[in-house]
Amino acid sequence: MRCFGWVVLVWLLPLAAWGQPQEYVWTSQSRNSSESMPLGGGDLGLNVWVEGGELLFYVCRSGSYDEHNTLLKAGRVRLRIEGGDASAPFRQTLRPADGSMQVELLGATVTLRVDAFDPVVRVSVESPRAVVCEVSYENWRYRDRPYRKGEGRQSSHKWAKADALATTADTVIPSERAVLFYHRNPAKTVFDRTVEVEGLEAVKGQLWNPLAHRISGGRLWSRDLRYAGVREGRYLSTDFRAWRFCSAKPMRRQSFALAFATGQTERLEPWMAELEATVQRAEADPKGAGQRTAAWWRDYWQRSFIEADSGPAAALARNYTLFRYMLGCNRRGADPTKFNGGLFTFDPEGVDTAQRFTPDFRNWGGGTMTAQNQRLVYWPMLRSGDFDLLAVQFDFYERMRANAELRTRHYWGHEGASFTEQIELFGLPNYMEYGTKRPAWFDRGVEYNAWLEYCWDTVLEFCQMILESYRYDRADIGRYVPLIESSLRFFDEHYRYLAARRGRRETDGGGKLVLFPGSGCETYKMTYNASSTVAGLRTVLESYLDVKRMQGDTCVAPWRAMLDRIPALPLRTVGGREMIAPAVAWERINNVETPQLYPVFPWRRYTMASEGPIDAAVNTYLYDEHALKQRSSKGWKQDCIWAAELGQTEDAARLVQEKLADGPHRFPAFWGPGFDWTPDHNWGGSGAIALQEMLMQTDGDRIVLFPAWPQSWDVRFRLHAPNRTTVEAELRGGRVVRLDVQPEERRRDVRILLKNE
């Protein structure tokens, strides 16, 4: 299946311009927030746009959850300039290279920067003539806001009746040169409702609760502005209150800043102290902070890149870069970048005109992490070398582990962490997905949900990412070893527990686990040995044993014994062709996923870099009727990745062009809503993975370049491979004209495969 030729390499000197992302420019104003441009850094995301001559931006900080687990915006800021040059041209420029944005407006230059190391936003205005600036902090949570029908989907209440549900009001306190704003959660939150519905009251005191008494907010301040009162208004479908500040006098240079704090405390004073400390740091050395931020972004872009100057790859590379920029804006977040919008959601009616809710709205919740979607946001960070960004996702699971383990012991009396698919940031299933109307006889540990029942294996992908981060970068993964072991232990103990309740033996006749009842993603239900679960368990166990070997740890007997208990990957013959089966058996098909191709990705047991044959996987991709029926480039769909992994160059090229084409909004990397919301980050993540895998695949020490890349597409890239290896290559005119592998001894492990078109 892999008939490729070797190519001649022409060695050239490095190009200094490589890895320098281009500016992204608009020369006309926007209609509304759906035409905003993202700006961010550290753990802050801004949507910035200019509408009707006024500059506006939303701010969202990672971890800013309210009592219902909605990820709140901190508010909206509006800047109006009076006395400027109305004839001056307009220009809005995102500069990913240093993480800044400039807006040329009414002859003035507005520069916006987000600190990469502190939760601080700085805005400066410089004008050739003295102007007056009016800056407004706008907040729609100036009053309690009762939920309207459908609005619960922004929170953990999802489709629960809106009766008696409301987002409580923020506190906003203005002073002469500043305005303080914050949202303070009460003691009782959706966590309590979750514990009640899921029958965990007996262990409630032992459960970690990150929502009670959480405070999030910040301060806007300026030495150049003075408080000018309050006004009320409406933006799109949402009323708001604005606290206004105006220039003390017309000036050529003036500025303001915002600082943020998030904490969990019953007393306000500790949170205020944290905020004040951030403000003091922001005022102490703003120039140095800007230099450190710019340096961080320069280093970020030098880690890796995919670039093309012209041809079909140019638009793909640009959108890949813009997507990676948005991911870089949450490297220090309290929680992972959400698949359903990240930090960059905007007014929901810009996505769906029927959703006339507040700017806090996003479909599928704020603090509910849908694991199948989240993984696609984080897998591409290995190839791009963004190992520091991965820690946010890893820490998320490690924090939840104790609750997941307690849940297992409470329901079933054995060990291991039970992680579900629709999981809250405190490690329990979303209570609405868990089921509020359940038969009394139904297993309390299982979600009473046709899509999610027995869907437990998604945590394995994050375990594999942790292990890969060691193999790629020798990352210190010691603090995550308990998570890996507990996640594996759950499957071993739980399926032996279930078998022992059905009969006399804990395993089948060959001593293998009986993975029943199971689930092939959300699609193949009530499965016996689902291929996605089998491949996941085998891959994680093999990787864990390999990492143990690399670390010189010989205490591996329990994990080797568990690997011996994992059943074989199910195969079947259809039309005379051997294929991967979804499972040995299943009762129904419920959704539109293709888990029989999960052994290809995410588990990479069949790829162009594999040592063994991949015919069964190729047959599955090409001929499985279900796989063909579900083929798509929409949303989280992974067909572009599977095509790349299996060397299906024509399909990979077509699907990745569909996937990474400009989205429906003005900013081209605002994809979606797909199956979820806009910006759809799992849409971008799946496209990023496919693009990377078209260029480079690895297996063990093997590195294969251009395994599914059209020979006529010029491109240059730098990507990461295991063993602290970076690969730079340029393809031009159908020839590889540059290849640089570091360390140099790894060059012997590189093979170049280019299919003639």
Cβ burial of 478 (10 Å; 0-12, 13-18, 19+) is exposed
Domain limits of the chain? 31-303, 327-752
370-388 pLDDT, tens per residue? 999 999 999 999 999 999 9
For residue 15, pLDDT beyond 50: no
Q: How far apart are the first and last CA of the chain?
A: 16
246-255 pLDDT, tens per residue? 999 999 999 9
Q: Residue 707: what are its φ and ψ, rounded to 5°?
A: -70, -20
339-361 pLDDT, tens per residue? 999 999 999 999 999 999 999 99
581-622 pLDDT, tens per residue? 999 999 999 999 999 999 999 999 999 999 999 999 999 999
For residue 322, pLDDT beyond 90: yes
| 17 band by pLDDT with thresholds 50, 70 and 90 | low
Token pair in block for residue 341: 């919008």
For residue 13, pLDDT beyond 60: no
- Confidence (pLDDT) at 466: 98
Architecture of the domain spanning 31-303: Distorted Sandwich (2.70)
Mean pLDDT of 705-730: 98
Mean pLDDT of 384-409: 98
pTM score over 0.95: yes
Q: Is the dihedral of CA 636, 638, 639, 640 positive or negative?
A: positive
For residue 400, pLDDT beyond 70: yes
Q: Residue 440: what are its φ and ψ, rounded to 5°?
A: -65, -30
- Which CATH number describes the domain made up of 327-752? 1.50.10
- Confidence (pLDDT) at 757: 52
- Confidence (pLDDT) at 18: 80
| 25 band by pLDDT with thresholds 50, 70 and 90 | very high
- Confidence (pLDDT) at 675: 96
Beta-carbon neighbour count of residue 701 at 10 Å? 12
Q: Is the dihedral of CA 684, 687, 692, 698 positive or negative?
A: positive
For residue 756, pLDDT beyond 80: no
